[in-house]
Structure 1
Amino acid sequence: MRNRARILRIARGQLAAGDRSLQLNAIARLAGVGVGTVYRHFPNRHALVEALSEERFRELIGEAQAAVAAEDPFAGLRRLLRFALDLMLDAPDFADVLESAGGVGSQASKMMAELDEAVTGLLDRARLTGAVRDCVDAEDVRRLLCGVQHAVRSGDGARRDLYLGVLLEGLRPPR
């Protein structure tokens, strides 16, 4: 367990320094462990990124659960999407995890299911008030938000609120 924690600490340090490559061989060297030790804990880069994303996932799940309890479900959805977008913009690797949480049985997959459950509850509440289209589900919202994150990242970050507003309006039923 100490080796795993050390590997994660080194990987976080690399990300904080702007190195997104997360080369497992380099991490092993910096952590003072064998390459086999790193691969035993994290069979590939994506598994490492998922482990690094667990804290952000917990924050996002907590925010989604709070949004479900909001008096106005559409306001809760707006707040949740803004929070999620900010997390994704702050940590591009987290956005990658949201786009494709790991295989069956992975911790990220379990957390994604928990997040989807909360978002589904929020969408159901918003549908009851007529604020959200009937055909939109949690996966749709996640994919659309990933698209907004990509648009903001590839363009002018000042347009974040505009893009998020377009997404929110698109979730509403046709008038």
Structure 2
Amino acid sequence: MLQVAREQLAAGDDSLQLNAIARLAGVGVGTVYRHFPNRHALWEALSADRFQKLVEEAQAAADDEDALAGLHRLLRFTLVHALRDTGFAAVLESASDNEPQTSELKAELDRSVAHLLDRARRSGAIRRDVEADDVRRLLCGIEHAVRSGGNGPERTEVYLDILLEGLRPPR
């Protein structure tokens, strides 16, 4: 089922209709729905590897000698991947998860980002009232702005600079 879904995505069809996936995979619709009760659950399964890479990038950023540079690199990495993959973006911004693995990965991500933010706060690089969840939500807003603005990815760096400036302590 996942292979069929990946083939659909590779062919440019991101609708991921569960009934169509069942037909193309040669399984019953009930089988698909038992594994993936909704489209979001399928996106979670398809995004698991990408989410794991994001967690690894967040851990590396948290260990960066320059916390602000690590944060900027992590934000850019996340935004580029979210712009390339709408399903990954949907999983990243979702307030609830279908799969325990997704919740665990998000918790790992938040721990690494919280550590990174703590280091950046101690160095005076960012404001004290910003939490890991805030950064994820702001980044999802930027992803939406880039995607919906018709400007394309060339606006990515401009928006990231604005976000980083907004994370700095008030003057």
**TM-score using structure 1 length:** 0.93
2:139 counterpart (123, 137, 145): 145
Change in Cα spacing, 1:57 to 1:101, as seen in structure 2 (3 Å) is farther
Residue 117 of structure 1 aligns with which residue?
111
Looking at structure 2, the residues matched to 112 and 85 of structure 1 have their Cα atoms a distance apart, in angstroms, of 16
Residue 54 of structure 1 aligns with which residue?
48
Superposed CA offset, 1:130-162 (max 9, x none) = 001100001000000001101111121221110
Residue 62 of structure 2 aligns with which residue?
68
Residue 159 of structure 2 aligns with which residue?
163
SS of the residue corresponding to residue 37 of structure 2 reads coil
1:130 aligns with 2:124: yes
Q: Is the 8 A contact 2:4 2:25 kept in 1?
A: yes
Looking at structure 1, the residues matched to 14 and 97 of structure 2 have their Cα atoms a distance apart, in angstroms, of 22
Superposed CA offset, 1:28-61 (max 9, x none) = 0111111111111111111000111101100100
The Cα of 1:110 is off from its aligned counterpart by 1.1
The 4+ residue runs of structure 1 with deviation greater than 4 A are: none
**TM-score using structure 2 length:** 0.95
Question: How many residue pairs were aligned?
Answer: 169
The Cα of 1:103 is off from its aligned counterpart by 3.6
Query: 2:69 corresponds to which letter in structure 1?
Result: A
The Cα of 1:15 is off from its aligned counterpart by 1.2
Superposed CA offset, 1:98-122 (max 9, x none) = 1115447621111101100000000
Q: Is the 8 A contact 1:14 1:22 kept in 2?
A: yes
Q: Percent identity?
A: 67
Superposed CA offset, 1:54-108 (max 9, x none) = 0110010000000011000000000000000011001011111011154476211
